[in-house]
């Protein structure tokens, strides 16, 4: 791991920012905006020019009826009727399909494209499935974290694996790849334990799940206290679920994995001029619900194990669903996503999803799906050995603002000053790793940016 005092890390980051700044054209727009930057005081709850603009519907109760009528009109799409999956088609992929169909939820048939069409799909804001072996080496698939640790030998003890709160104070939620792989191997080799849990397909939550705090998202140090509460209520199954998620689910940036089979996804995708680089993150272990959108266009790629991806087909309805917030389990408005894939809850609280076109795809190793900017999605699996690779398209400054009408970076969506600062941060963090081998910068509490 990067053993450097935080003061040294901060000073090195500032040096990296200066280097990137000095490399910008003196008469270019980004440098002009940075020269004129005056963010003002950093006041809690006060918007300044370095922050993104999040548009959304925050109307209070008296206005909700009118808003609801408008949403009903928007969400009624006869143009997708021919794309609904039949109950028979869905049953082949998901054993709980009858429960979904009974409540009126019908995913659409996914569209398949070639690897050479991936970037065109993202530019068009299209959700599509493709064969990832067309853009990545076959040797990257059907390998486990134990295999990856072995590839790296002694280096594995220096590579950090971040749990859900891995970036939090005290390093109690980060461990080395070597320790993680050893523990995973020991757990999966326990007598009588199946490699894939028998409940791997079951994601329709038990009644009342929406009222329970998500044990799966708790840091390992807090699982005991939550488990004690659940056990007193006779919910041992949820305790085990939470323990598995908290201890087996980690993320690792692939730039730290120097011994992986060599690949250059940016080049494989045609070296698009609007993408400065592709940020690749590995997600391992069980994955419960987490409805959200990402600012960047990205790909969900299955490297190992089966998982179910739910990806909505329309970017421009994000604000309608979640009040513009990135996480869709928002309490704003009436159109809420279920905090678990609970058909009964969704039927009562997310009635609009019965009309809303969404992809529900079982991703097997070698399969991938496009997720355009601001498209709500989640990934579900209970397999501790699964590995998903997220590939985020980091855009050049203002290069992608005209790509799709719904992109986070579309023209007029964000201020030029915000985009200039954001691009400077991203490039400086990448340069810091390239030139000094220093990381430790995060989006959220566990997604390391390098």
Question: How crowded is the C-beta side of 204, counted as CA atoms within 13 Å?
Answer: 16
The pLDDT, as a whole number, for residue 378 is: 83
Residue 423 sits in the same domain as residue 283: no
Lowest mean pLDDT segment, chosen from 104-108, 116-120, 269-273: 104-108
In whole angstroms, give the CA distance from residue 144 to residue 304: 7
Q: Is residue 58 over pLDDT 50?
A: no
Residue 385 sits in the same domain as residue 428: no
169-176, Cβ contacts within 8 angstroms, sequence gap of 24 or more: 172/219, 172/220, 172/221, 173/219, 173/220, 173/221, 173/446, 174/1, 175/250, 176/1
Question: How crowded is the C-beta side of 148, counted as CA atoms within 13 Å?
Answer: 30
Residue 116 sits in the same domain as residue 262: yes
Asked whether residue 2 is assigned to any structural domain, the reply reads yes
Lowest mean pLDDT segment, chosen from 54-58, 238-242, 243-247, 301-305: 54-58
The pLDDT, as a whole number, for residue 361 is: 87
Mean pLDDT of 341-365: 70
Residue pLDDT, tens place only, 89-102: 777 776 666 666 77
Asked whether residue 242 is assigned to any structural domain, the reply reads no
- Is the pLDDT higher at 417 or at 312? 417
Mean pLDDT of 283-310: 86
Residue 28 sits in the same domain as residue 139: no
Asked whether residue 317 is assigned to any structural domain, the reply reads yes
Lowest mean pLDDT segment, chosen from 35-39, 244-248, 336-340, 382-386: 336-340
The pLDDT, as a whole number, for residue 44 is: 61
Mean pLDDT of 108-131: 93
Residue 323 sits in the same domain as residue 286: yes
In whole angstroms, give the CA distance from residue 284 to residue 295: 22
Asked whether residue 178 is assigned to any structural domain, the reply reads no
Residue pLDDT, tens place only, 222-236: 445 555 555 555 555
Residue 383 sits in the same domain as residue 420: no
- Is the pLDDT higher at 136 or at 41? 136
Asked whether residue 98 is assigned to any structural domain, the reply reads yes
CB 34 within 8 A of CB 21: yes
Residue 407 sits in the same domain as residue 429: no
Q: Is residue 382 over pLDDT 60?
A: yes
Lowest mean pLDDT segment, chosen from 311-315, 386-390, 412-416, 433-437: 311-315
List the domain range (segments joined by +) for residue 73.
56-159+250-413
Residue 432 sits in the same domain as residue 287: no
Q: Is residue 132 over pLDDT 80?
A: yes
Residue 23 sits in the same domain as residue 97: no
Domains: count for the chain: 2
Asked whether residue 195 is assigned to any structural domain, the reply reads no
Q: Is residue 335 over pLDDT 60?
A: no
Question: What tokens appear for 371 in the block?
Answer: 């997720």
Q: Is residue 323 over pLDDT 90?
A: no
* Residue among 77, 84, 98 nearest 360 (CA): 84
367 forms bridges with which residues in the sheet? 131
Q: Is residue 426 over pLDDT 90?
A: yes
Asked whether residue 271 is assigned to any structural domain, the reply reads yes
- The CATH code of the domain that includes 135 is 2.60.120.10
Asked whether residue 240 is assigned to any structural domain, the reply reads no
Residue 402 sits in the same domain as residue 292: yes
Mean pLDDT for the chain overall = 76
Q: State percent of the chain over pLDDT 70.
A: 62
Residue 393 sits in the same domain as residue 440: no
- Is the pLDDT higher at 6 or at 67? 6
């Amino acid at each position: 791991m990067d053993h450097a005092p935080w003061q040294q890390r901060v000073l090195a980051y500032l040096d990296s920012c200066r280097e990137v700044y000095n490399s910008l054209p003196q008469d270019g727009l980004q440098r002009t905006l940075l020269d004129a930057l005056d963010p003002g005081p950093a006041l809690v709850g006060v918007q300044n020019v370095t922050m993104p603009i999040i548009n959304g519907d925050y109307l209070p109760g008296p206005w909700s009826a009118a808003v609801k009528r408008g949403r009903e009109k928007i969400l009624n799409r006869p143009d997708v009727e021919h794309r609904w999956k039949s109950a028979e088609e869905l049953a082949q992929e998901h054993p709980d399909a009858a429960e979904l169909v009974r409540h009126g939820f019908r995913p659409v048939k996914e569209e398949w494209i070639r690897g050479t069409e991936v970037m065109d799909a993202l530019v068009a804001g299209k959700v599509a499935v493709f064969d990832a072996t067309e853009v990545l080496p076959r040797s990257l698939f059907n390998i486990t974290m134990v295999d990856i640790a072995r590839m790296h030998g002694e280096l594995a003890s220096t590579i950090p694996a971040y749990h859900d709160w891995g970036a939090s104070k005290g390093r109690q939620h980060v461990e080395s790849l070597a320790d993680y792989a050893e523990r995973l191997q020991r757990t999966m080799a326990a007598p009588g334990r199946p490699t894939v849990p028998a409940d791997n397909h079951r994601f329709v939550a038990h009644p009342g799940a929406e009222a329970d705090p998500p044990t799966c998202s708790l840091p390992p140090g807090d699982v005991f206290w939550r488990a004690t509460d659940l056990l007193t209520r006779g919910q041992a199954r949820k305790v085990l679920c939470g323990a598995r998620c908290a201890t087996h689910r980690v993320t690792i940036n692939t730039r730290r994995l120097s011994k992986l089979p060599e690949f250059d996804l940016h080049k494989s995708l045609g070296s698009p001029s609007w993408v400065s680089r592709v940020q690749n993150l590995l997600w391992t272990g069980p994955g419960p619900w987490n409805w959200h959108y990402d600012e960047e266009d990205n790909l969900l790629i299955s490297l190992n194990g089966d998982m179910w991806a739910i990806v909505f087909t329309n970017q421009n309805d994000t604000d309608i669903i979640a009040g513009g917030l990135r996480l869709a389990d928002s309490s704003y408005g009436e159109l809420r996503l279920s905090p678990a894939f609970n058909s009964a809850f969704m039927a009562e609280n997310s009635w609009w999803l019965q009309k809303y076109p969404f992809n529900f795809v079982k991703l097997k190793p070698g399969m991938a799906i496009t997720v355009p900017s601001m498209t709500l999605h989640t990934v579900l699996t209970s397999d501790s050995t699964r590995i998903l690779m997220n590939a985020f398209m980091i855009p050049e400054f203002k290069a992608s603002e005209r790509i799709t009408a719904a992109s986070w970076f579309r023209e007029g969506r964000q201020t030029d000053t915000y985009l200039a600062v954001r691009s400077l941060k991203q490039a400086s963090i990448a340069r810091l790793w390239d030139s000094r081998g220093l990381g430790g910068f995060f989006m959220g509490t566990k997604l390391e940016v390098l």
